[in-house]
A and B are shown apart, each in its own frame.
Chain A
């Protein structure tokens, strides 16, 4: 009897394996190339598209057009689909759509729906990509709202500090205003024609990468993609993404007399993820400033008692230009002391690396990767990023193997070779006290950071 049960269990296991997640490179009947992540246990399907863009890099483009245009397309309705009606129909379908600009290099579109509601969902999405209404009233409404939100954000002292760093790194290059949206007239000068021009050059049949994930076979996925891309122009412009960031170390204080708190940040470049080392980075940054047991939290809160929280993270200006940052709000009177302590803690970390077991540090990532296939949207996002980095189809299904290959040696090599030295950071403090950071280049507005030595 036991043998029979064992046999049943093995057969069941084999069946499950056979139907498990898989990845393949496919081409639709209409010639659209894509990666299919087949997740047979899901009833949901998600389509993710990355359209290339260099809008942010070019002089003469209206830098607020992408962020405004994405919202006008989503909210303002499309040919045959008035705004107030389509919002309810999409809710009936339980479908979701989103468009956003990712680190200035791509416009990402995401469409998620239940498999048996695919045809209508894709038809509506196609209309919004191909023939959005871009009504003047909706354009004005959204432009005005984003302008107000940006003005408020720029008045917040932490935001202003990071604006100052972008002035220091990119100066007057077009890319800077694409990120900060703070040049006078950025929103006032934006027209509906700017949005229409951005839309026309962006949404084509030639994205850099497409991923379809969920419970769907290649036949149905190809049909869906052909319907989604129907009527879009074959190709857009040849993109050219040139920028010359200057990450030379600087020591700056943005003096805001009415700031109610004091913030300190360190910023330095990291290599692009296309060169590898991404998982080592995640482990290192978490150990450096990811939680209450991290190096920075321990140094600035637990030991120095000068902050509520001081952490670290990674961000992207572009796919080529990533940054490591360490930041937190600190006690105003101890700003200079905190700067010394953070720098010393980082130097020690870079010398000796994360303490404790690497297996324990991998555990949260293992848990996350093991559950990735439960979430079609997250799986597709991960796969799309892999595709943009040139990985073969299925990278997102093999992250656990990549993690297993991470060793103490690879972590330390990454830290010592690719992480910045303690003296290589741009330091920016935002404080009501102009003398809080002795020797710093004191500025009154972010723009002045461009002139800090």
Chain B
């Protein structure tokens, strides 16, 4: 979808200013790519946003969940959350399957103060023991808010454990109620001390500030620059466990029947991550259609199998791809039958191949995947999200120049090769949710 957002570009001078503002600022220049090579420790993305955002991202050590989530709560409270802030400052923290992050936003002229406040994340956790212990109960409330009574969240956690078996990302970030109540604040403080170190952090600054202003602010607060201006971390490695299938049956008598279906496949050849992300997104768009090669015809328009469905395909890394399919069956169609029709359709389409006409037609719609590179403001906003997404996934963002060339890899051959692999050997999990009589 093309963003319905474009800024005043009527005056030529403004065009130049906008384009000039779209630049990442590396302390050290590194070629795009992933793997284990060092990452830039600091990245600036200049935008015209009224607020400036400061983000800090750290890698999650293996086997650190759900303790890392507890440590994140405590570190944020200690550094930012427990103190009163001005009303124009916003902040939060997050933990994912592979990283932990903190952010603080405010007026651009307050950048030194924002950095100084966020710097507190490096300091030892300074909270009263009773208060830190109570935060465990708060996380239990968070579990109740996000997971308890939520069949989809519970199914996703079980599917993660099966699909990613043997890998670091298989563990639940929040854990079970029993695991939460067993969290130990001393262990959390120790984990924080081991992981939240300046030499392990990536700093991302997004907003209407210049490289010069950022350098000045960093000097003002004595921000520690890691040796060589880079940090050494990589996304967690992933090795797909044995090819097999599993079906989870979750009886929720009041739930609208639905199928959650996920599959992980190992590619025969690695593909650069950003290109693979674009290729999987294009294939998703094709499968979503009612065109030859899509699944909407057999499922929704030519037959009444699924009254609604959604597809996602995304790379786990350069070697592995995941497919997610969720669907609500039409009246009288069991979840087993729905799964069968979907899998058969996928296999048939892979065997037949995506027709050139379908590929070309969907590719024509695909320009919304990237920004309008001629629109400086839109590009800057897009790059801000992109850079933050990549850093949060412990990956090095590509430059704008490199991103612009990716569309050359969206060929019919690459799309069909990807589809054939997705329909081939895999590790597949299906979850049936709803009243039991909807399952078979």
- A interface residues with partner B (beta carbon < 8 Å): 9, 12-13, 15-16, 19-20, 40-44, 46, 83-85, 87-88, 91-92, 94, 96, 112, 114, 137, 140-142, 144-145, 148-149, 151-152, 154-157, 259-261, 287, 291-293, 301-302, 305-309, 329-331, 354, 356-357, 359-361, 363-364, 366-367, 370-371, 374-377
User: What residues of chain B lie closer than 8 Å to A157, measured between beta carbons?
Assistant: 149
- The one of A44, A151, A291 in contact with B4, judged by C-beta atoms closer than 8 angstroms, is A44
Choose from A43, A83, A152, A260 the contact partner of B301 (Cβ within 8 Å): A83
Among B134, B144, B252, B377, point to the contact of A260 (Cβ < 8 A).
Answer: B144
A41-B87 contact, Cβ under 8 Å, with A152-B254, A305-B134: no
Q: In the complex the two chains form, what is the Cα distance from A115 to B141 in whole Å?
A: 49
Q: How far is the CB of A132 from chain B (nearest CB, A)?
A: 17
21 pairs of residues in contact across A and B, judged by CB atoms under 8 Å:
A12-B12, A12-B13, A44-B6, A88-B291, A91-B289, A92-B364, A94-B365, A145-B256, A152-B254, A261-B141, A261-B149, A287-B87, A308-B139, A308-B141, A363-B50, A364-B88, A367-B49, A367-B51, A370-B50, A374-B7, A376-B5
Which 4 A-B pairs give the minimum distances between C-beta atoms? A84-B301, A155-B254, A148-B256, A367-B50
Is B246 an interface residue, CB under 8 A from the partner?
no
Residue pair A91, B88 in contact (C-beta under 8 Å): no
Q: Which residue of chain A lies nearest to B146 when distances are taken between CB atoms in the complex?
A: A308
Q: What is the total of A-B residue contacts with beta carbons within 8 Å?
A: 155
The answer to whether A292 and B91 touch across the interface, beta carbons within 8 angstroms, is yes
Q: Which listed residue (B10, B145, B330) contacts A16, Cβ 8 A?
A: B10
Tell me whether A145 and B308 are in contact (CB under 8 A).
yes
Looking at B78-86, B163-171, B389-397, B421-429, the stretch in contact with chain A turns out to be B78-86
Residues of A within 8 A of B145 (CB): 261, 308-309, 329
Q: Using CB atoms and an 8 Å cutoff, list the residues of chain B in contact with chain A.
A: 1-2, 4-14, 49-51, 81-82, 84-88, 90-92, 107, 131, 134-135, 137-139, 141-142, 144-145, 148-149, 252, 254-257, 289-291, 296-297, 301-302, 304, 307-308, 328, 330-331, 361, 364-365, 368, 377
Q: Are A88 and B138 in contact (CB under 8 A)?
A: no
Chain B residues near A9: list those with CB within 8 A: 13
In contact, B11 and A16 (Cβ under 8 angstroms):
yes
**Pair B254/A329 contact, Cβ less than 8 Å:** no
- Bound-state CA distance A354–B84 (Å) is 13
Residues of chain B with a CB closer than 8 A to A309's CB: 145
| B143 nearest in chain A by CB position | A308
What residues of chain A lie closer than 8 Å to B135, measured between beta carbons? 305
Query: Which chain A residue lies CB-closest to B361?
Result: A92
Chain A residues with CB under 8 Å of B5's CB are 374-376
Given contact pairs A87-B296, A152-B252, a sample of 4 additional A-B residue pairs in the complex whose CB atoms are under 8 Å apart: A12-B11, A15-B10, A308-B138, A308-B139
**In the complex the two chains form, what is the Cα distance from A338 to B78 in whole Å?**
24
Q: Which residues of B contact A114 (CB under 8 A)?
A: 2
With A40-B10, A137-B304, A305-B134 already in contact, the answer to whether A293 and B255 are too (CB < 8 A) is no
Chain A residue at minimum C-beta to C-beta distance from B285? A91
Given A41-B7, A94-B2, A305 and B297 contact (CB-CB distance below 8 Å): no
Contacting residue for A41 out of B6, B107, B302, CB 8 A: B6
Residue on A nearest B90 in the bound complex, by CB: A291
A92 touches B10 (CB 8 A): no
Give the docked Cα–Cα distance between A16 and B14 (Å).
Answer: 10
The answer for the CA separation of A259 and B149 in the assembled complex, in Å, is: 8
Chain B nearest Cβ from A382, distance in angstroms = 14
- A164 CB to closest chain B CB (Å) equals 17
Interchain CB contact under 8 A, A144 and B1: no
In the bound complex, residues from chain A placing their C-beta under 8 Å from that of B302 are 84
What is the CA–CA distance of A307 and B141 in the complex, to the nearest angstrom? 6
Report yes or no: B301 in contact with A144, Cβ–Cβ below 8 A: no
The answer to whether A331 touches B137 (Cβ under 8 A) is: yes
- Nearest Cβ in chain B — how far from A257, in angstroms? 14
B85 CB contacts on chain A under 8 angstroms = 293
Assess whether B4 is in contact with A375, with CB atoms less than 8 Å apart.
yes
CA distance A339 to B138 in the complex (A): 17
Chain B residues closer than 8 Å to A94, beta-carbon distance:
1-2, 365, 368
Which residues of A lie under 8 Å from residue B1 when comparing CB positions? 94, 96
A88 to B50, CA, bound (A): 38
Q: Which B residues touch A360, using CB under 8 A?
A: 86-88
A87 in contact with B290 given A148-B256, A261-B149, A357-B86 (CB within 8 Å):
yes
Closest chain B residue, CB of each to CB of A292: B81
Chain A hits for B90, CB < 8 A: 291, 364
Selected from B87, B137, B331, the residue in CB contact (under 8 A) with A140 is: B331
Q: Give bound CA distance, A284 to B216, whole Å.
A: 36
